[in-house]
Amino acid sequence: MAFSMNAQRILQPKLVELDLKGVIYKKEWSFDLKIHENGYALGYNTGEVLTYDKSKYYQLELGMIKDIRERRQNKNYSFTPVGGTRAFVYGKINNFMVVRGSIGFKHYLSEKAKRKGLAVGYSYSFGPAIGLLKPYYLNVIIRPDQGEITSVTYEDLKYEDAPQQFLEFNDINGASKFTRGILETKVIPGVQAKVASHFALGAFDKYVKAVELGVMADLYINKVEIMVPTEGFDNKQYFIKLFANVQLGMRKN
């Protein structure tokens, strides 16, 4: 009788909760599309997933920095001997690009970093910055001393060639081609750093899908001459700016 009662017991299977906090992928790479207060940047990241909540990465980034005073304008001439006008920035004397190299770390704070859901964390990086200062050329009208209209010609000039004529608004035809002056580019060494809040969709998924909101800072050994100095505004050797970044890529073993 006792044997019969024991035989009628129903065995319930024990539920086992899978712990997905282990490292599934060991490597990851991604591309960045970053916009900030006075420019933008494109970057490439390659890194290593150290633990379920921590990654180490290396970043190479190419960006453009502008001055807050820059305003593009066009005279909208219907015809000129040089084939039309290009929009230009009055008072701009150099284009400024920067190459940034960084080592960085990414930490997740929430356990929603399991396969799906929003993982919240933060990232920080630092490293060298190489500033590239390329002269900004304008296509300007060259008037002969005699003032003969038929003798008017057009010439590409940079600020250092003829400061007074470069700033004569009525003689500006438009901007020269971007490649003009590229062989005259000067290098300005510096350092840079970033810190950001990091929001990832599925931190352990195969695909990297994240958004970052943060602050970045660049510091150079010399003043970066982007615009002609004016009263109350001067060129500076540091840039501190807010940024938003979209990150897309893949993870692999």
Q: What is the pLDDT of residues 33-89, one digit of tens each?
A: 999 989 999 999 999 988 888 999 999 999 999 999 999 988 765 445 555 578 999
Residue 115 pLDDT class (50, 70, 90 cuts): low
Kindly write down the DSSP assignment for every residue of 58-89, as one continuous string: EEEEEEEE--TT--EE----S--TTSS---EE
Domain edges within the chain: 23-252
What pTM was estimated for this model as a whole? Answer: 0.81
Domain spanning 23-252, CATH architecture = Beta Barrel (2.40)
Q: Are 173 and 110 in contact (CB under 8 A)?
A: no
Q: Tell me which long-range contacts 141-146 makes (C-beta under 8 A, separation of at least 24).
A: 141/171, 141/172, 141/173, 143/171
Q: Which helix (H) or strand (E) holds 6?
A: helix 2-7
Please give the Cα distance from 174 to 76 (Å, whole number).
Answer: 9
**For residues 135 and 178, is the Cβ–Cβ distance under 8 A?**
no
Q: What is the pLDDT of residue 131?
A: 97
Contacts of 164 (CB under 8 A, 6+ apart): none
16-30, 41-55, 170-184, 218-232: range with lowest mean pLDDT: 16-30
Structure tokens at 49: 């997933």
Give the CA angle between residues 151, 92, 226 to the nearest 5°. 145
Q: Tell me what pLDDT residue 15 has.
A: 46
Residue 149 has what pLDDT?
56
Question: Running DSSP on this structure, what letter comes out for residue 5?
Answer: H
Q: Does the structure show a pLDDT above 70 at 30? A: yes
Mean pLDDT for the stretch of residues 6-34 = 66
Decide if pLDDT at 251 tops 70. Answer: yes
Cα 29 to Cα 57: distance, rounded to the nearest angstrom: 9
- Residues 161-197: tens digit of each pLDDT: 999 999 999 899 999 999 999 999 999 999 999 999 9
User: What are the DSSP calls for 131-191, one per residue?
Assistant: EEEEEPPEEEEE--TT--GGG-EEEEE-TTT-HHHHT-GGGEEEEPPTTTTGGG-EEEEEE
Q: Nearest 5°: phi and psi at 3? A: -65, -40
Confidence at residue 76, expressed as pLDDT on a 0 to 100 scale:
63
pLDDT greater than 80 at residue 92: yes
